[in-house]
Structure 1
């Protein structure tokens, strides 16, 4: 099945496309009185199509994968489908990202530098500065919008981490969601990461649940592939002459590293020699493949990264299991991407589909700490010491399963960025920004299995796609005059391995880590380390390094030998930074997370919040009840046979709390990182009828993460009490929601399962309140009305 019946020029090739949507052409001619008049003639209505030469476009972006991870680039993770794609196309060995996910994705999708489109860091760290706002400017329309308005079918599957934090709600606004950014269809998750067994999914802008449980074989990787295959088949069945643009961005291989055992067990024993040996083995394979030069130097391991032999021998079996799980995760990802590629091949579309496979939106993640973690949430909450060596050893068999929320150790991340220094977040060095790229397009690329060594950046993809599709950069989109794309075309390299390099200068910056590329030269400075919480030095005290054009791996710092060249590049960096809204530099941590200080909107303000049955909202959209006294009140109707199920919950199996009914009794469970569960129950079963149920948490105070006393009430009468000894200070979950009337995702209490936990009665409303307990155990109707009106 081909998407075009002929390659000959069509009437669509003559359309003016610089203004989008393409203006309607008014009919000027004879207008008759009677449609039956033989002189009645109007041109037929024709559905818009792109120029005749436009191929299908499939952009695949793997998450958190270092240059040395995939076997296609010499890594230890078996990726036969990546290798097969490369054998039929080109491998780019000097392709670059921004060192972090949201910035790379927004740069890819817009063809502009990440600060230029407001994405200086992740959306959760947006500030009021233009380069860090998390808001895409209206004069920089995304590629999907341009292609859609030129007649492409467009769809996105997987991760979307480009929505401003205060807009991730069931009521929008949705202009930065995929369906507001040019994609006609979206199936995936909105945020930085997803539980591969219990993802928080959206179809369009509607929250939905997976159709299977982990026990039934569900994984997000498989689900996304199924959805993409179905959509592509349907699109070609209904509109075979219309090309598609599909953006496929699985949550893999970002933490949590979740994969069924049949994948991870393939790698049993393969990493027992440790990460230093893995670097050496990968380095040798990379030279053999030619993805690095034969005279390249393996960079030294920095002192901040421990040697394998210096790790506790008692911990080493846990560390090797971490890497076995990750490798299996990558291989499963390759398998599911391969299924999507096979679907394109089965439809006989492979020859005329331009495929970009980008293996990583940044380097491998070093956010898992020196020891790695079974549950990354304690680390994200600033409490990594909870997971002792003994604890990790006790959970080694559960890594990668639904019981875990695991991440590997820093040493593995460094090894997976071989042969370069550093990792994800380190925008100063290639380990953070250099990722393997495969381009496949038989109708446009005659070469098979060749390498390309020209310097390119993720902002070059959009420019190249438009040129291949014979589409101009629009001057106006949706009535807004457009700024130019900031990338360059890669098309000359498709046919010429020795094509002149046209991406001659590129700045890099991520939370103070910064660098500049100029015609082979690189100047860079590392300002902060991902796994360290120490305060970074003043920017002017950062030490800059200089690497010459013949230094492929940035292994020989010549700053002291050529200070004049270093000063020249430093000045150019500042010019580029000023041009693209990089300044003011911002290395703040807590301040950027706090919306009051950062200067971005905050969705929930005040000390009360009203919620209703059926709502599912992200943690950022819920009143913060951490580190303070608070109450949860629910007005309910309990059936005659008694009540079961969840009233309200936040978080899940890896951390959170839930207010629910079990065996007719009212209960509250606080799940402390999945390690401890504090369950408080009413003494007796609840009576049927209309009742107000309440949980009061009296916080101990005296700092973060303290415990508190819990009291349960029914209609103002005390019916149970208990104790929570410790709490999570900053976050319950990385991706699970607050649910009213059930518990989607993983269960926050061990007393109910991951399905069948919906409340069996009726919930009129649920109210959250923070502040000291005033001992008024009933919410009056006028108080509830006043709160509701305040939200209008």
Structure 2
């Protein structure tokens, strides 16, 4: 028999000795209390049943036990009341709108020149936040925004396509960081996501999944949008849930932003029709204004001539408006622009003409996406639910993008393959910019101007130009003050706790059986009513590919390790030069105080290291383009080292990260087809008009087309046509070697007989397309070869298989 616990024996002796119940019980309580550990801070980890009878800290919620019924006849028994999860009383609808790649100084709502009437209306009826921050890159910001945890806590130190094997950078969002969609869904909300999803590991985007990191398994009951960093607005690769769907892209009036808005409005109307008392959460994330810059044709000339005075004048005009509007404090100075950005008045007339047109196209794109947001909000008002809808409009997931380099781009794919575009060539094709014939991007000078009053751009986490974005919040039924500016420092991770507090939903301890990491952001809700709310977010780190900064109590220490237009880092991480800014007095980070305050710099550098260890930022990986290769980066690869892949007719939309990689090596394509005389159509295509390859048949003759970054097409043509019947077609590519993106010789065979050969002088060294994948039996979206037409290239024979093999 086990011994009695010591305290029990002691208490029994005391009671026996003094026979004093009133003495012994208090003494026992004191002794018991003294032996307990110190009380913990009140729990994010304790179960709590609310006044409505729901324990919302452990999700999903558990139904009550049903009493056992012993009555034989149902007439003699009382049925238990139906049980269902319900949202807390008064829980609002919540909409997050996230614009892509828009800088702090681009929208009219924050002093910019792009007319955004919907944002202006919402700002007039709501609150602007002028010190809201992102991470400087899209995937990291989006995971932080949806989970309330820092991007490295979400394993999203970079975009998913450059994930590595290190914690903090794996590209696989952990189950311990449940999204706000999952939390709200399990608290009685309907949930939907429209537009861009760049939070799923790139190698998991295939018909084989796994689908655990797709939106419909991360809390969204409805998903209609594209997977990856960007999409062609006229030829998007769209999924409904996990199913690839075709859109009517051949309709000359089709535009994806309008299409996704139609779907969002229809979903919202249906939800409110059938369950009017049930709140909804919508994440509305257009591809605009990320490249390719593609507004509808009707918007192309809306800004004709408005940017002829250039980016230097734009910066000054924008700052003047920002000061007048109260967006930035009086006395704010323009931070100096990087040396890489030329003065506008030193550019040639051709450069000025090209660059001005690039900004006209971008501005039109920005106005168009805002018009769609306006349509969405008008539908909310028309449904009579605006007063109970918290509408969050975020103007950019990072600063404006400088990935267009010095001259801008007709085809952004050239940037990712390290191929320069000539200014004269762009001038000769200027009428194509913004249309279906381009995949364009503006020059880096416009990115710097778009981030006015700051110096740097997207990717540069070491400067507010990369991380400061405009934020508007509207809640007509709740806001006591409107058309006001709040200047408390805040971050993307603060959105989730704000939503949860507004919805009266506690932070969960566990979700789907997985213990949750504590939410790392802070609620902004108090600022809605009190402009003098003390700053709640006192410390925040920033890091993207070695560019890094630390904010603490009004001070920022930062370093620029690599500019977006630089081929590699400026040096070793340990040798980086740090700058210091007092941003309570210097809004734009215009005056570096590091030389006069070395002790403060060292203090903040240590704070950065402490935060870096805490949130799995280390080790820092400053490689960029190299990390697009899975083997180099050390991340999973769906091919898993396979040297061959066999695919079958009807398979489509297989993105590069889920397909065999033929770049920078020799390869062989083998297919067996059955045809009738006059065979035509595509057997296999990867990519599209802006880069890719295609094995196809033209009037019975096989052809292999290699489209080099949209600049040149190489055709290897057969001299012989296919006769009726079954045939084996082979294409062999002998790579020259000697580095990335080199050329080689291509040879075609029919049933083992050589029927054609030609030289392919250049190849894509890094990628074919970010948004168009491989198709078998047709070429979806844009066409790899200009010799066949979009929508009219389906193979008219039978494809038994296609095998691609690499050395």
TM-score by length of 2: 0.92
User: Cα offset for 1:751?
Assistant: 1.6
**Worse-superposed segment, 683-692 or 315-324:** 683-692
Q: Deviations over 1:609-631 (max 9, x none)?
A: 11111112001122111222211
Q: Deviations over 1:350-388 (max 9, x none)?
A: 11111110000000001110111111212210111xx21
Aligned partner of 1:776 in structure 2 is none
Q: Is the 8 Å Cα contact of residues 656 and 673 (structure 1) preserved in structure 2?
A: yes
1:57-456 pair list within 5 angstroms: 57-213=94-250, 215-384=251-420, 387-456=421-490
1:492 aligns with 2:529: no
Residues in 1 aligned to 2:656 and 2:372: alpha-carbon distance in whole angstroms: 30
Q: Is the 8 Å Cα contact of residues 17 and 474 (structure 1) preserved in structure 2?
A: yes
Q: Is the 8 Å Cα contact of residues 12 and 48 (structure 1) preserved in structure 2?
A: no
Residues in 1 aligned to 2:593 and 2:50: alpha-carbon distance in whole angstroms: 58
From the CA coordinates, give the structure whose radius of gyration is larger: 2
**Worse-superposed segment, 442-451 or 416-425:** 442-451
Q: Deviations over 1:264-296 (max 9, x none)?
A: 301111111110000011111111111001121
Residues in 2 aligned to 1:261 and 1:201: alpha-carbon distance in whole angstroms: 21
Provide the alpha-carbon RMSD of the alignment: 1.5
Residues in 1 aligned to 2:623 and 2:715: alpha-carbon distance in whole angstroms: 38
Q: Deviations over 1:102-134 (max 9, x none)?
A: 000000010000111111111111111111111
1:660 aligns with 2:660: no
1:595 aligns with 2:595: no
Question: Any idea what SS the aligned residue of 2:184 has?
Answer: helix
1:758 aligns with 2:794: yes
Residues in 1 aligned to 2:247 and 2:260: alpha-carbon distance in whole angstroms: 11
Residues in 1 aligned to 2:562 and 2:756: alpha-carbon distance in whole angstroms: 49
User: Cα offset for 1:199?
Assistant: 1.2
Q: Deviations over 1:541-562 (max 9, x none)?
A: 1111111221111111111222
Aligned partner of 1:26 in structure 2 is 65
Q: Is the 8 Å Cα contact of residues 119 and 131 (structure 1) preserved in structure 2?
A: yes
Residues in 1 aligned to 2:704 and 2:122: alpha-carbon distance in whole angstroms: 52
User: Cα offset for 1:34?
Assistant: 2.3
Gaps of 5+ in 1: 1-9, 772-792
Q: Deviations over 1:495-536 (max 9, x none)?
A: 111111111111111111111111211111111101110343
Aligned partner of 1:6 in structure 2 is none
Q: Is the 8 Å Cα contact of residues 249 and 781 (structure 2) preserved in structure 1?
A: no
Q: Is the 8 Å Cα contact of residues 634 and 764 (structure 1) preserved in structure 2?
A: yes
Aligned partner of 1:461 in structure 2 is 495
Question: Any idea what SS the aligned residue of 1:570 has?
Answer: helix
User: Cα offset for 1:709?
Assistant: 2.6
Question: Any idea what SS the aligned residue of 1:85 has?
Answer: helix
How many pairs does the alignment contain? Answer: 756
Q: Deviations over 1:121-177 (max 9, x none)?
A: 111111111111111122111111111111110000111111112211111111111
User: Cα offset for 1:726?
Assistant: 2.1
1:503-518 pair list within 5 angstroms: 503-518=537-552
Question: Any idea what SS the aligned residue of 1:693 has?
Answer: strand
Residues in 1 aligned to 2:52 and 2:725: alpha-carbon distance in whole angstroms: 69
**Worse-superposed segment, 674-683 or 510-519:** 674-683
Which of 474, 490, 494 does residue 508 from structure 2 map onto?
Answer: 474
| Shift >6 Å, 4+ stretches | none
Residues in 1 aligned to 2:578 and 2:398: alpha-carbon distance in whole angstroms: 22
User: Cα offset for 1:46?
Assistant: 4.0
Question: Any idea what SS the aligned residue of 1:86 has?
Answer: helix
Residues in 1 aligned to 2:277 and 2:283: alpha-carbon distance in whole angstroms: 19
Q: Deviations over 1:709-734 (max 9, x none)?
A: 32222222223333323222221112
Q: Is the 8 Å Cα contact of residues 61 and 85 (structure 2) preserved in structure 1?
A: no
